[in-house]
């Protein structure tokens, strides 16, 4: 079995550093105000028909949504806000899914931050809810484009599975004061 390719931290960090070195501009902040308990989602999908379906589902689930037009845009948005959910097309702003800067950035996040971001990968290559593909790409859920009409059920089931999987672990962290 072939070993999964390690994220190219240098190129990803170059992209991220380009974004991070920009001067502060309040308009870069994705949200002005989110009430306590409000959840946020970043949608990185360029196909308009797929994006509309995803956004419709996330709105029904009461997420405050940011749409990104490029990887640089997405990284700029994540610079000021930790999203609860990121829905990312594996080909977002790239022709090579292994060179996806947003996915590389998410893979490089410290685990205590990353585990609080639910990442759904929209894919042509992998089956919906393929756990091995999820593990390999460090995402929580894979959604195959062929199943995009069922995105509502798929995301809800994926979130429920994730909550039950991490329930005891997160409870233990809270009890020990480590979040």
Give residue-wise pLDDT tens across range 83-101. 999 999 999 999 999 999 9
- Cα–Cα distances in angstroms (integers) from residue 46 to residues 49, 53, 135, in the given order: 9, 12, 24
Question: Is there a domain that residue 21 lies in?
Answer: no
Give residue-wise pLDDT tens across range 102-161. 999 999 999 889 989 999 999 999 999 999 999 999 999 999 999 999 999 999 999 999
Question: Is there a domain that residue 170 lies in?
Answer: yes
pTM: 0.80
CA atoms within 13 A of residue 67's CA, in its CB half-sphere: 14
- Cα–Cα distances in angstroms (integers) from residue 10 to residues 94, 99, 137, 156, in the given order: 17, 12, 18, 35
What CATH number does residue 162 fall under? 3.40.50.2300
* Residue 14 confidence class, pLDDT cut points 50, 70, 90: low
- Structure tokens, 51: 């994006």
**Domain membership of residue 166 as a residue range:** 35-175
Q: Tally the domains of the chain.
A: 1
Question: Is there a domain that residue 15 lies in?
Answer: no
Question: Is there a domain that residue 143 lies in?
Answer: yes
- Cα–Cα distances in angstroms (integers) from residue 141 to residues 19, 29, 175, in the given order: 27, 27, 28
Q: Which pLDDT belongs to residue 79? A: 87
């Amino acid at each position: 079995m072939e070993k999964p390719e390690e994220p190219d931290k240098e190129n990803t960090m170059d992209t991220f550093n380009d974004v991070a070195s920009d001067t502060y501009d309040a308009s870069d902040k994705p949200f002005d105000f989110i009430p306590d308990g409000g959840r946020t989602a970043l949608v990185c999908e360029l196909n308009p028909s797929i994006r509309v379906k995803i956004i419709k589902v996330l709105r029904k689930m009461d997420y405050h949504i940011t749409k990104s037009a490029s990887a640089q845009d997405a990284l700029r948005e994540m610079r000021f806000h930790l999203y609860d959910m990121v829905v990312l097309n594996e080909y977002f702003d790239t022709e090579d899914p292994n060179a996806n800067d947003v996915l590389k950035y998410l893979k490089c996040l410290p685990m205590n931050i990353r585990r609080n971001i639910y990442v759904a990968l929209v894919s042509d290559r992998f089956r919906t809810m393929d756990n091995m593909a999820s593990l390999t790409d460090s995402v929580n859920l894979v959604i195959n484009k062929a199943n995009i009409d069922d995105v509502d059920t798929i995301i809800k089931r994926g979130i429920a599975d994730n909550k039950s999987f991490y329930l005891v672990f997160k409870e233990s962290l809270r009890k020990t004061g480590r979040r």
